[in-house]
Structure 1
Amino acid sequence: MTPASTDTVTWELSGFGDEVDPDPRLQCAVLLALGASHIEVRSAWDINIVELDDARLAELDGIIRASGLGVSAVASPIGKSDLAQPIEFELGRLDRAIVAAGILGANYIRIFSFWQIDGAPVEDIRDEVITRMRRLADRAEQGGVVLLHENEKDIYGDIPERVLDIVQSVDSPALRLAWDNANFVQVGVRPFTDGFAALAPYVDYLQVKDATVATGDVVPAGEGDGELLQTITALRDRGFRGFASLEPHLTNANPLGGFTGPAGYGRAARAFRTLTDHAGVTLA
């Protein structure tokens, strides 16, 4: 396939290691084999990143550093919780994520904007969500990290209009966006057509997966309805130079994560590289 542009830019390729295997050594080995320079850490040894104690974090850091990879982000579960849970619960998890980011040398921490309430208008939780997101952003500023809000289905910020509301209302340099095409498809949004123009100024990070409108199933990049090629091309044209992180979800997807395995991960990486090659984007 002939590249669409002769002006090549470089993005840093990363990926969710725990979608390969619980063992961080195997996570790193597969990512290296696929040409990644970084890893995104959600869990290791089947332990979530915010639950790893300092000793295990130091061990994990040693494994990653020995492999030669960097850490693109700490993929926390913060904000995947009910609003009935006191905000102190999430502030405590954020404190652990900040510790993890410091040990692992990461600048970004992924978060979410709280589960919607079944049967209630989503607008009813808007003010409380914004208040909580502002408190999280304030804590992140104090901790010297940047939060990345991911557009996940069934949270307040699942569609472009509400994602924009969050980032503009909180208005903090410590709150930016992780863009996920598949998650938008799963809530009935055409990602590029319906959301990119408004949200692009706030996007620091690309999470790579695709999905089909008909079933909502997650598929490799470019094989679904997520408008990945248009998104990649537009990010290139805007001068995006950030991380692109593989989150394939090809074997299993659940509210707290997903799994793919080494073979599926390779398939996902090759599919994404086909799109970036076409757009004149080099992955390193």
Structure 2
Amino acid sequence: MAVPGPQAAVFSKVEAPLPNAQHPTWTLSGFGDEVDPDPKVQVAVLQALGASHIEVRSAWGTNVSELDDAQVAELKAVLDGAGMKVSAVASPIGKVDISLPADHEVTRLRRIIEVAKALDTRYIRLFSFFRAADQTPEDIRDAVMERMSLMAAEAEGAGVVLIHENEKEIYGDTPERVLDILETVNSPALRAAWDNANFVQVGVKPFTDAYAMLRPHLEYLQVKDAVAATGVVVPTGEGDGELMETLAALRSDGYTGFASLEPHLAVQHELGGYSGPAAFGVAARAFRAAADSVGITLA
């Protein structure tokens, strides 16, 4: 699939795979609420774009952490009816100030674990806490590690996997601090969700500065790109996220996990973002073109 404009130059940086090279298959997913509040519309658009899975952050305008049992059951019925599976629950756990008591997010996580099990997924996204304006990352390190360890223990006991997203302005927003969390907690129930755009927004060159460091912990790919000068999120290949280099390296390393579209092309805010069906389609097609160019099959 040809992609015009600025992406073409980016694609040329990565050597095309040999015709007889084996193409690994990655599972395509996407944040449904970036498409529409209605899960039925979310599913229809994602399936039209070739996705077999959905990442659940909200439904009917309600965050996943606030869905009641009846809503979760209704959502599961919608997904089952369409033959759509859930790649992860994109929770807001850890996207709160570190000053809250340690058990605050543990309690919320227990509910999210119930939702994840009801939706038949083992992955739960989470974050590593905001801090006050007068605090440094070092000031909150011990409190972060305490909370992340408690939540990892909770997840391990429940048989689910927490995937930490490198969101800007949380403790784990740089590669070094993400590694600090993962090595300090040292739990099989806490792994890394990789987001190129978020690294760009904190001044990191994702592939150059972070890939080798974090690859052993990388469990889940969230797909978006960003422009370094402005932080604006753009489709794959149009920013400074070194996505082509990242995709090619993951292919060579044998990655065969999820690739979840999180375009943020219309609105971006503290608890997520929105693109709408048309812009979401632009992002999906750009990513598929990128995957094709390095020999990755999306299904």
TM interval, short-chain normalised: over 0.9
User: In 1, distance between residues paired with 2:196 and 2:286?
Assistant: 15
Q: Give CA-to-partner distance per residue, 1:32-78, whole Å, 9 cap, x none.
A: 00000100000000101011011110100010111111100000000
2:234 to 219, 229, 233: 219
- Number of residues of Structure 1 aligned to a counterpart in Structure 2: 284
Which residue number corresponds to residue 7 of structure 2? none
More displaced 10-residue stretch of structure 1: 183-192 or 78-87: 78-87
Please list every run of 5 or more consecutive structure 2 residues that lacks an aligned counterpart in the other structure: 3-14
User: In 2, distance between residues paired with 1:168 and 1:235?
Assistant: 21
1:42 to 52, 57, 62: 57
Indicate the SS of the match to 1:206.
strand
Indicate the SS of the match to 1:157.
helix
Which residue number corresponds to residue 12 of structure 1? 27
- Root mean square deviation, CA, Å: 1.0
More displaced 10-residue stretch of structure 1: 82-91 or 30-39: 82-91
TM-score (norm 2): 0.93
Q: Is the 8 A contact 1:98 1:145 kept in 2?
A: yes
Q: Which amino acid aligns with 1:131?
A: E
Which residue number corresponds to residue 42 of structure 2? 27
Which residue number corresponds to residue 97 of structure 2? 82
Q: How does 1:250-265 map to 2 (within 5 A)?
A: 250-265=265-280
Q: Which amino acid aligns with 1:12?
A: T
Which residue number corresponds to residue 192 of structure 2? 177
Q: Does 1:153 align with 2:199?
A: no
Indicate the SS of the match to 2:182.
helix
**Structure 1 residue 86: Cα displacement:** 1.2
Q: Give CA-to-partner distance per residue, 1:258-284, whole Å, 9 cap, x none.
A: 000000000000000111001100000
Q: Which amino acid aligns with 1:24?
A: P
Q: Which amino acid aligns with 1:238?
A: D
User: In 1, distance between residues paired with 2:178 and 2:116?
Assistant: 24
Q: Is the 8 A contact 2:102 2:146 kept in 1?
A: no
User: In 1, distance between residues paired with 2:259 and 2:52?
Assistant: 11
**Structure 1 residue 120: Cα displacement:** 2.1
Indicate the SS of the match to 2:171.
coil
Q: Is the 8 A contact 2:33 2:59 kept in 1?
A: yes
User: In 2, distance between residues paired with 1:16 and 1:121?
Assistant: 31
Indicate the SS of the match to 2:173.
coil
Q: Is the 8 A contact 1:3 1:277 kept in 2?
A: no
**Structure 1 residue 87: Cα displacement:** 1.9
User: In 2, distance between residues paired with 1:65 and 1:123?
Assistant: 45
User: In 2, distance between residues paired with 1:219 and 1:165?
Assistant: 29
Q: Is the 8 A contact 2:16 2:293 kept in 1?
A: yes
**Structure 1 residue 116: Cα displacement:** 2.7
User: In 2, distance between residues paired with 1:98 and 1:264?
Assistant: 31
User: In 2, distance between residues paired with 1:176 and 1:183?
Assistant: 17
User: In 2, distance between residues paired with 1:80 and 1:125?
Assistant: 14
User: In 1, distance between residues paired with 2:158 and 2:68?
Assistant: 18
User: In 1, distance between residues paired with 2:68 and 2:290?
Assistant: 39
Which residue number corresponds to residue 220 of structure 2? 205
1:100 to 109, 112, 115: 115
Q: Does 1:131 align with 2:146?
A: yes
Indicate the SS of the match to 2:98.
coil
TM-score (norm 1): 0.98
Please list every run of 5 or more consecutive structure 1 residues that lacks an aligned counterpart in the other structure: none
Indicate the SS of the match to 1:166.
helix
Q: Give CA-to-partner distance per residue, 1:146-200, whole Å, 9 cap, x none.
A: 0000000000000000000000100000000100000000000000000000100
**Structure 1 residue 3: Cα displacement:** 4.2
User: In 2, distance between residues paired with 1:264 and 1:57?
Assistant: 27
